[in-house]
Structure 1
Amino acid sequence: MDEKKARRRSFLKRDSATARVPILRPFLSGRFAVPLNLAIVAFTVCLAPLPLGSTKPVALGLWCVLLAFAALTMPLKHMDRHAWLTIFPIVLLTLLWAVLSIGHAWNAEHPAPIPDQRGLPIRGAAWQAAGLPLALALIFLTCFAHARDRLSGGRLLRLLAVVGAAYAVLALVLHVAMPGQIFWYNKIQHGDYLTGTFLNRNTAATFFGIVAMIWLARTLTFVERNLRPGTSIVVQLHMMPATERHKLLRALVCLLLCFATVLATGSRAGVFACAMGALALLAVSLKRMALRLSRWQVGLIAIAAVAGFAALLFTGGDAVLGRVSQQGLFDPLRYAIYLDTLHIIGEHFWAGTGPGTFQEVYPAYRTAAAAATGIVNRAHSTPLEIAATMGVPFALLTIGVFLWLVWRLGQAAMKAPRGSSLLSAAFAASLVTGLHSLLDYSLQIPGFAFYAVALLSAGMARSIGRPTADTGASAEDHNFSASSNVATDGGFR
């Protein structure tokens, strides 16, 4: 009986998959199988922001092909029943989104092509709408499987941090050396502001805000692990080994670099979301530190963090402060678009107008208050656009799953006994992403969404703790704390 059960479940084993698909043998077995699969996923996630955020269908199609191959060959030895049950709601939601998009594209009959900003027709917009949720589901699944292993999860986090900092340097170089351009592409909008490799400054601000959360989590975790109560912080820093001080200095430099890049975008919503994420991350870290450090040490760290952010804002935030003084905190034209979108939702409450149809449907509901906004191809609010195109029930389901993800990451980050860069960064990134999606469409840009989902998926994998059935993994692969079922970040130092 046991042998029969083992045969039924053999599809989860690497040897069985190799026997069934011989062409995949080099990617499913051998010492390089897991690193090669991780390299494919990392290649996709890290390069997606480069070609203008991968907004073109060709780029998104290429990433979908690579991610599908990575999903077919991903490692499954750390995926137990608990792990599958954890990711089931999220993967099911994204796959349902993709299926609904494909179904609408198959049955839709559009009276005329949708024009883009140059007056050319956009063909197959509904088909394109199915690509992003499908790619996000594949990224979440593959990154989750890799992050279940301590070493792979640590490598993934280090790679996201380093690549994000490299994009920040590239953005500053482009802004200084090629103002008004992104490589060969002339900016249509936001020519005076930093946008990095993205077309929109708000997307760039959110992207670099998430990178800043990774480096802020790294800095706070370093402080939490190395400071001890009863001794002056200055004395402890002086007695710290030179290699440790260099690690802390690198993290601080990358943190300041990313924050400065966020401010240079001039995005009010991006700076606000980044500030809220930083405050939440600081609160979680200080709550953990209060259990080990003295009150004056915790207070000194809090004051230094808040003072540092305020000084950075008033010394390098001219772009943001200038926009606030001239235009206020909120754009009235965007408010008009929100009202028009609510009108669409009211008439298509249950099923929406169909995925990818917002740009086609919006002109029929456009009021005079939004006439000065030009061509509107987004609702500038991801939840509102989901409700308008997919229906209110699906939008509420999506919001509920995302709030559950944020709550899960926050609980795990607070319970981590020695802190975890991965858990803390994923929690803060989820807040930044969620807050900014209320006011703009950054999650609808593949280059940003890939990066954010990869980080959130890795955090979710680490939040559920030790696998219940370890198939041959060594103790070094699972360095879990004995006092908690929340894993550390794999030595990300």
Structure 2
Amino acid sequence: MSAVASVLIAIVVGFSSFWLGSNRPLAWSVNAVMVGGLLMFTCLSLQLEARRHPALMISRLWAAIVMFGLGMCWAVAQIIPLGSATAGHPAWQVAGEALGRDMPSTISINPSETLWAIVRYLTAASVLLCVYVLARSAQNAQTILRTFVILTGLAALYGLTRLSLSLDKILWFDEPDTGYLTSGFINRNSAATYFGMACLASLGLVIQKVRTVLQSTSHDSGREVVRKLSLAMAGMLGFDLVLFVLMFVCLLATGSRGGISFTILALFFMLLLYGVKATMRGRSAGGGLAWIAIILVIAALMLGVFELSGARLTGRLLDQGLEAGARFEVYAQTWLAVRDYLFLGSGLGTFQDVFTAYRLELSAGRKVWDKAHNDYLELLLGLGLPAAALVLMSFASLFSKVTRGFFARHRDTHYAAISAAACVLVGLHSLVDFSLQIQANALAFALLLGVGLAQSWSTRA
């Protein structure tokens, strides 16, 4: 049953990108119901397979779980009616005076938006927990990651089809053609984050296959090594390499400056992890020269694809840099709002409601700023400093665990490497965009992080 649950959770996450990145209330509701049902199904499967399933070792995640849980508890407290308590948002008093009656106040300026934000956070957390529990089995971990990568490949093909045919629809939804690849997303920056994570996952699978081949050639001649690699290219290694190139082409076709730049940094961070580990152990799988060759081949491949497909990105970087000037003014105005709501917050997910009072004429022709283009600032504004710090510390704790797990494990280290690199990508891109506020990205990140955590310590413990 756990194998079935592994496929199903990967399918739910993989298909979440096709429906406008699941960035609609109906999609949030459907995903929450499906993920919640799968979490219960996973618990049932573990009851039936308890003797054959590796120990869960949930105790190693308690600190992160408690910190995240406290942050979410505060978000719930923000939508509890407080009567006329002074802690409530002053907007409720103004509304009561305008309507001529007392209105129960809440800390959140918009409780319904805060409730939706809680649902999204808990859905992603449920995906992480479900994947973690299932992926403690190495076979389930492989099933989850492989299914996810294949589905992202379908999303990539769909995106390239839309781009090449200049289609003005995403499925049955009207969406003007922008000349950039978005696949099932509306925003190309969100698509860049998604395909960036897919690049990391497919590259991790490529590296694992190559290392497996090289481990069996430690005493072979150079000609024999080349022969075995060539044979592997006819199998799954070639398939994974094609997927990596496909994802990287799609990433470049998004034209997202931040998404592409940070993905490349994350890719090299992954290679750096392997290089440091090889140095620490005084050797690498298949020999030092072979490992250097792997890095050079992958780097050359990335540069070659970039040369063929990255002209538009280069032009945008030269003309505009990594950020548009208006966003820096948004950051400054958002920080003023953060200072006004420093401890209690304005309510998780209420940036648009609050920013109306702080915004300037930041961009001619733009009527609404519904995102700060910085997830950290939005989290600080929504939850307040204490609760936001707890949530961010929980993610930092998980990043630390997968990074240490990569260096501690001897087998299947690619899961932890992919997770750590995904943390780097999402962590950096969240500085200049709202990647994790698009649910398809949040669920994909939760899946990769869950697999990495599950395989960060021995399954025989």
TM over 0.5: yes
1:83 equivalent to 2:70? Answer no
- Tell me which residue corresponds to 2:267: 278
- Tell me which residue corresponds to 1:379: 372
1:334-357 alpha-carbon deviations (Å, 9 max, x no partner): 111111111111111111111121
Alpha-carbon offset, residue 233 of structure 1? 5.1
From 125, 128, 135, the counterpart of 1:140: 128
1:65 equivalent to 2:33? Answer yes
Query: What is the alpha-carbon distance in structure 2 between the residues aligned to residue 201 and residue 139 of structure 1?
Result: 24
- Tell me which residue corresponds to 2:169: 181
Query: What is the alpha-carbon distance in structure 2 between the residues aligned to residue 241 and residue 296 of structure 1?
Result: 18
1:319-468 mapped onto 2 (5 Å cutoff):
319-370=312-363, 373-466=366-459, 468=461
1:25-64 mapped onto 2 (5 Å cutoff):
33-64=1-32
Q: Is the 8 A contact 2:196 2:248 kept in 1?
A: yes
Q: Is the 8 A contact 1:276 1:432 kept in 2?
A: yes
Q: Is the 8 A contact 1:218 1:251 kept in 2?
A: yes
Query: What is the alpha-carbon distance in structure 2 between the residues aligned to residue 374 and residue 350 of structure 1?
Result: 29
Q: CA 1:346 to 1:308, structure 2 compared with 1: closer, same or farther past 3 Å?
A: same
Q: What runs of 5+ residues in structure 2 fail to find an aligned partner?
A: 82-88, 96-109
Query: What is the alpha-carbon distance in structure 1 between the residues aligned to residue 315 and residue 449 of structure 2?
Result: 33
Amino acid in structure 2 at the alignment position of 1:88: W
Amino acid in structure 1 at the alignment position of 2:77: G
Query: What is the alpha-carbon distance in structure 1 between the residues aligned to residue 350 and residue 80 of structure 2?
Result: 13
Q: CA 1:340 to 1:203, structure 2 compared with 1: closer, same or farther past 3 Å?
A: same
Query: What is the alpha-carbon distance in structure 1 between the residues aligned to residue 7 and residue 422 of structure 2?
Result: 23
Q: How many residues align?
A: 425
Query: What is the alpha-carbon distance in structure 2 between the residues aligned to residue 328 and residue 242 of structure 1?
Result: 44
From 281, 291, 297, the counterpart of 1:298: 291
Question: Which range is displaced more, 45-54 or 67-76?
Answer: 67-76
Alpha-carbon offset, residue 58 of structure 1? 1.3
- Tell me which residue corresponds to 1:206: 193
1:93-151 alpha-carbon deviations (Å, 9 max, x no partner): 44444443343334377678xxxxxxxxx993222112111101211111111011122
RMSD across aligned positions (CA): 2.5
Q: Is the 8 A contact 1:54 1:445 kept in 2?
A: yes
Q: Is the 8 A contact 1:345 1:387 kept in 2?
A: yes
- Tell me which residue corresponds to 1:101: 75
Q: CA 1:152 to 1:419, structure 2 compared with 1: closer, same or farther past 3 Å?
A: closer
Query: Which SS does the other structure have where 1:301 is aligned?
Result: helix
Query: What is the alpha-carbon distance in structure 2 between the residues aligned to residue 369 and residue 299 of structure 1?
Result: 48
Query: What is the alpha-carbon distance in structure 1 between the residues aligned to residue 30 and residue 447 of structure 2?
Result: 18
Q: Is the 8 A contact 2:371 2:434 kept in 1?
A: yes
Query: What is the alpha-carbon distance in structure 1 between the residues aligned to residue 311 and residue 238 of structure 2?
Result: 26
Instruction: Using the aligned pairs only, state the percent identity.
Output: 24
Amino acid in structure 2 at the alignment position of 1:67: V
- Tell me which residue corresponds to 2:105: none
Alpha-carbon offset, residue 289 of structure 1? 4.6
Query: What is the alpha-carbon distance in structure 2 between the residues aligned to residue 418 and residue 123 of structure 1?
Result: 47
Alpha-carbon offset, residue 419 of structure 1? 4.8
Q: Is the 8 A contact 1:220 1:285 kept in 2?
A: no
1:139-165 alpha-carbon deviations (Å, 9 max, x no partner): 111111101112211111111111111
Query: Which SS does the other structure have where 1:367 is aligned?
Result: coil
- TM-score under structure 2 length normalisation: 0.85
Alpha-carbon offset, residue 467 of structure 1? 5.3
1:257-278 alpha-carbon deviations (Å, 9 max, x no partner): 1001000000011011111111
Q: CA 1:321 to 1:93, structure 2 compared with 1: closer, same or farther past 3 Å?
A: same
- Tell me which residue corresponds to 1:127: 115
- Tell me which residue corresponds to 1:116: none
Q: CA 1:234 to 1:272, structure 2 compared with 1: closer, same or farther past 3 Å?
A: farther
- Tell me which residue corresponds to 1:151: 139
Question: Which range is displaced more, 337-346 or 429-438?
Answer: 429-438
1:150-299 mapped onto 2 (5 Å cutoff):
150-187=138-175, 191-227=178-214, 228-229=217-218, 235-240=224-229, 242=231, 245-289=234-278, 291-292=283-284, 293-299=286-292
Alpha-carbon offset, residue 213 of structure 1? 0.6
1:61-81 alpha-carbon deviations (Å, 9 max, x no partner): 11111222222232443474x
Q: Is the 8 A contact 1:94 1:136 kept in 2?
A: no
Runs of 4+ in 1 over 6 A off after TM superposition: none
Query: What is the alpha-carbon distance in structure 2 between the residues aligned to residue 179 and residue 70 of structure 1?
Result: 34
Q: CA 1:427 to 1:234, structure 2 compared with 1: closer, same or farther past 3 Å?
A: farther
Query: What is the alpha-carbon distance in structure 1 between the residues aligned to residue 7 and residue 64 of structure 2?
Result: 23
Alpha-carbon offset, residue 446 of structure 1? 0.9
1:168-197 alpha-carbon deviations (Å, 9 max, x no partner): 111111111244432333336x71211110
Q: CA 1:396 to 1:124, structure 2 compared with 1: closer, same or farther past 3 Å?
A: closer
Amino acid in structure 2 at the alignment position of 1:431: V
Question: Which range is displaced more, 40-49 or 240-249?
Answer: 240-249
Amino acid in structure 2 at the alignment position of 1:246: G
Q: CA 1:334 to 1:226, structure 2 compared with 1: closer, same or farther past 3 Å?
A: same
Query: What is the alpha-carbon distance in structure 2 between the residues aligned to residue 450 and residue 163 of structure 1?
Result: 14
Q: What runs of 5+ residues in structure 1 fail to find an aligned partner?
A: 1-32, 113-121, 469-493
- Tell me which residue corresponds to 1:30: none
- TM-score under structure 1 length normalisation: 0.80
Amino acid in structure 2 at the alignment position of 1:429: A
Query: Which SS does the other structure have where 2:78 is aligned?
Result: helix
1:11-42 alpha-carbon deviations (Å, 9 max, x no partner): xxxxxxxxxxxxxxxxxxxxxx3344334423
Query: What is the alpha-carbon distance in structure 2 between the residues aligned to residue 94 and residue 289 of structure 1?
Result: 34
Amino acid in structure 2 at the alignment position of 1:404: S
Q: Is the 8 A contact 2:9 2:144 kept in 1?
A: no
Query: What is the alpha-carbon distance in structure 1 between the residues aligned to residue 346 and residue 57 of structure 2?
Result: 35
